[in-house]
C-alpha cells in the first residue's frame, strides 16, 4: 500500500503538466539536509521506496540508499546534459552505465571510493577538472557497496 501511494505521489506532478513540460523533466533531485543535492537521471528509471529508516532509489541496474533523515525533499528537475561530463546543473549526479558507476558535479580532484560493507576498499577514482569520475565495478560480485566522497556517502547494490 505504501509503495502504491508513493508511486502515485511521484506521478501526480507529471500528470499535472502538459506534454511539452513533461519532456524537459529528466532528473530526480534529492535535497539533503546538509544543503547538498544528488541528481539521478530519469533515463535510469529511478523508483523511490522507504525501507526501515532509509530512502532507497532503485534504478534499472543498481540501488542507492540514504538515511531518510538526511533527505529533506525530492523533486523532478530539468537538467541539461550531454553525457556525464556535459552537465550544466549543480548537485552531485549519480548514473550507472552497465557495470560502471559515474558521478559528476563534485569538486575537481575529489577522491571517490567504493567499499564493501565490511569496510574493504575495492575501487577508487579521482574526479577530473569538471568534477566527474567513472568507476568500473565489473570485477566485483553482486553485493551492496558504500560509495564515499568528500560531500556525499551512499549505498549502491550491484545486481
* Per-residue model confidence as pLDDT tens digits over 30-87: 888 888 888 877 877 888 888 888 888 887 767 778 888 888 888 888 876 645 433 3
pTM above 0.75, yes or no: no
Residue 158 has pLDDT above 90, yes or no: no
pLDDT recorded at residue 94: 73
pLDDT recorded at residue 149: 85
Provide, rounded to the nearest whole percent, the portion of the chain with pLDDT above 70. Answer: 75
Mean pLDDT comparison of 39-43, 104-108, 113-117, highest-scoring range: 113-117
The candidate with the shortest Cα–Cα distance to 96, out of 50, 130, 55, 46, is: 46
Residue 6 has pLDDT above 60, yes or no: no
pLDDT recorded at residue 3: 58
Q: What is the DSSP string of 43-70?
A: GG--EEEEETTEEEEE-SS-EEEEEGGG
Residue 120 has pLDDT above 70, yes or no: yes
What is the residue-averaged pLDDT of the chain? Answer: 77
pLDDT recorded at residue 88: 38
pLDDT recorded at residue 89: 42
Residue 9 has pLDDT above 60, yes or no: no
Provide, rounded to the nearest whole percent, the portion of the chain with pLDDT above 90. Answer: 16
Residue 49: strand pairing partners: 56
Amino acid at each position: 500500500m505504501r509503495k502504491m501511494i508513493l508511486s502515485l505521489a511521484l506521478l501526480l506532478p507529471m500528470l499535472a503538466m502538459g506534454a511539452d513540460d513533461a519532456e524537459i523533466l529528466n532528473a530526480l533531485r534529492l535535497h539533503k539536509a546538509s544543503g547538498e543535492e544528488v541528481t539521478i537521471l530519469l533515463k535510469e528509471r529511478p523508483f523511490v521506496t522507504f525501507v526501515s529508516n532509509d530512502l532507497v532509489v532503485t534504478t534499472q541496474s543498481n540501488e542507492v540508499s540514504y538515511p531518510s533523515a538526511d533527505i529533506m525533499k525530492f523533486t523532478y528537475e530539468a537538467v541539461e546534459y550531454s553525457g556525464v561530463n556535459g552537465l550544466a546543473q549543480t548537485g552531485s549526479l549519480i548514473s550507472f552505465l552497465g557495470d560502471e558507476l559515474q558521478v559528476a558535479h563534485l569538486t575537481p580532484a575529489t577522491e571517490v571510493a567504493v567499499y564493501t560493507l565490511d569496510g574493504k576498499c575495492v575501487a577508487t577514482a579521482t574526479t577530473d577538472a569538471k568534477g566527474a569520475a567513472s568507476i568500473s565495478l565489473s570485477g566485483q560480485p553482486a553485493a551492496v557497496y558504500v560509495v564515499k566522497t568528500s560531500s556525499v556517502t551512499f549505498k549502491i547494490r550491484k545486481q
